[in-house]
């Protein structure tokens, strides 16, 4: 398992290649990447992501370990950025490796659902109209109930 | 005890962290102490349903005991991903 919290961009190609190498017994690799999306009607200048150093790494590691145990993954990767990002930039990625694709897909969704509302990150949107903290969505909390 | 604030909680209180001596038994008792200190705390903690708390970097609830705790953090619901 690898958990990375960093300010600088990551290379999704290199990360995926490294992750997918050396897993001869794993037939499926799933990756998900989150991108800073522009806002309709009120162009986004930047997104600032704050986090809780120490707890962030611990929470992501705990979530990744739960996914590994539950879906018998060969490996899991979580990379999440913080700091100032502009639309189109990659915020985060997860990757999962398992024998067959079903577990890899499910575990990736589980990782995404949990790190959306259980990893200590807070997003702030900066637009021409001003700045505001992104509110959590009830649907993100509801998404956890299916697990 | 170290007390940390994040996102709009940090903005309302005006500082990211501080050291506070307390004999409060639980997080809820400690919040009541903070609220009585100054208006900025009252403002930040006026609606606890809008807040989350971590004790020694573990997410918990406002009933959590504070005995032996080194670090408490207050923040809004998280928005990762």
Asked whether the beta carbons of residue A117 and residue B78 sit closer than 8 angstroms, the reply is yes
**Is the pLDDT confidence value at A23 over 90?**
no
Q: How far apart are CA B20 and CA B23, in angstroms?
A: 10
Tell me how many domains chain B contains. Answer: 1
At A42, the pLDDT band (50, 70, 90 cuts) reads: confident
Extents of the domains making up chain A: 2-146
CA angle B26/B29/B33 to nearest 5° reads 135
Fold adopted by A2-146: Aldehyde Oxidoreductase; domain 3 (3.90.1170)
Closest residue in A to B11 (Cα) is A133
**Is the pLDDT confidence value at A54 over 90?**
yes
- Domain span at residue B63 reads 2-75
Residue B41 lies in a domain: yes
For A46-79, give the DSSP string. Answer: EEEEEE-TTHHHHHHHHHHHHHHHHHT-SEEEEE
CATH number of B70's domain = 3.10.20.30
Query: Integer distance in angstroms from the first to the last C-alpha of chain B?
Result: 30
Q: What pLDDT is stored for residue A22 in this prediction?
A: 79
Residue B81 lies in a domain: no
Could you read off the pLDDT of A112-129 as tens digits, one per residue?
999 999 999 999 999 999
Residue B80 lies in a domain: no
Asked whether the beta carbons of residue A34 and residue B73 sit closer than 8 angstroms, the reply is no
For chains A and B, CB pairs below 8 A equal 69
Closest residue in B to A35 (Cα) is B81
């Amino acid at each position: 398992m690898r958990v990375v919290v960093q300010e600088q961009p990551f290379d999704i190609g290199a990360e995926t290649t490294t992750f997918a190498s050396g897993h001869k017994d794993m037939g499926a690799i799933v990756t998900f990447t989150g991108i800073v999306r522009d806002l309709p009607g009120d162009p986004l200048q930047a997104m600032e992501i704050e986090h809780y150093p120490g707890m962030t790494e611990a929470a992501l590691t705990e979530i990744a370990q739960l996914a590994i145990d539950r879906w018998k993954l060969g490996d899991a990767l979580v990379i999440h950025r913080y700091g100032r990002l502009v639309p189109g930039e990659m915020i985060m990625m997860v990757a999962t490796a398992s024998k067959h694709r079903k577990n890899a897909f499910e575990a990736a969704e589980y990782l995404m659902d949990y790190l959306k509302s259980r990893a200590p990150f807070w997003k702030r949107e900066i637009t021409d109209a001003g700045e505001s903290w992104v509110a959590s969505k009830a649907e993100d909390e509801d998404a956890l109930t299916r697990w | 005890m170290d007390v940390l604030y994040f996102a709009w909680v940090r903005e309302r209180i005006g500082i990211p962290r501080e050291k506070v001596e307390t004999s409060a038994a639980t997080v809820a008792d400690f919040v009541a102490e903070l609220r009585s200190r100054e208006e900025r705390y009252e403002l930040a903690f006026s609606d606890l349903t809008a807040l989350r708390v971590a004790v020694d970097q573990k997410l918990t609830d406002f009933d959590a005991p504070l005995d032996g705790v080194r670090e408490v953090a207050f923040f809004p619901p998280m928005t990762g991903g």
